[in-house]
Amino acid sequence: MSSTPGDNPPPSPLQDNSRFGADASTGPDELDAGPVIRAERFPRWFLLTAGILALVLAVAGAGIAAWRINASKPQVVITASGPRTPWEMVPPLSVDEYSRDASAADTPSANPTTKKQTIAATYARSGQNTVVLLMSRPEKDAKKFMVDLGMNSVIATEDGFCGTSVDTNRDSCALIRDNTAIMVVDLVGLSRADLMTLAHKFADSLAA
């Protein structure tokens, strides 16, 4: 039997979901749920700021860790090495068995032209004058120093030079220690090896 529009009963209030703005298939449980909030993307400036902040914190953390490691290590102080301050140019009273007169003048003389200071002292051994110590400052070249003093046949010996005086025909040996020429002149016939050894002993005593 066919039906007419008047034959269809009106929908029940519980079945008429159109009033809730939902499809007919939407159940009561879904209608009771709260509205769904869709997550929105973070702004680009927020992401950029967060990235920079994370990088800064990472660098700061690495710096603090490095500082703690370095602080736990023993500190090594490095100082610049400059030219050594020259020792006082005063002949020692004695070196080994050689000694000088304590009352003799021990003040260097200065040359107003060359600005060099020089001093000499005679040393005796067993009561006999044996060698003369001659010092000059500033000097850089022991060979030139000896040649300027009139030494002949100046040759290299160990770390210094030895030669023979043109005037007295006596041997002498010299070396440079801390921009100071130290020369020992023979008076009794010592060998050049003995003169060079004595020059080193004088240098060590002076610069000690």
Give the pLDDT of the chain (208 residues) as one tens digit per residue: 444 445 555 554 444 444 444 444 444 444 454 555 454 555 665 556 666 656 555 655 555 555 556 555 554 444 344 456 689 999 999 999 999 999 988 889 999 998 899 999 999 999 999 999 999 999 999 999 999 999 999 999 999 999 999 999 999 999 999 999 999 999 999 999 999 999 999 999 999 8
The predicted pLDDT at position 208 comes to: 85
Largest CA distance in the chain: 164
Q: What are the phi and psi torsion angles at 51 (to 5°)? A: -65, -45
User: Sign of torsion, CA 96 101 102 108?
Assistant: negative
The predicted pLDDT at position 106 comes to: 84
R_g over Cα of the chain: 51
The predicted pLDDT at position 41 comes to: 56
Residues 6+ apart with CB under 8 A from 181: 134, 135, 136, 137, 139, 142, 145, 174, 175
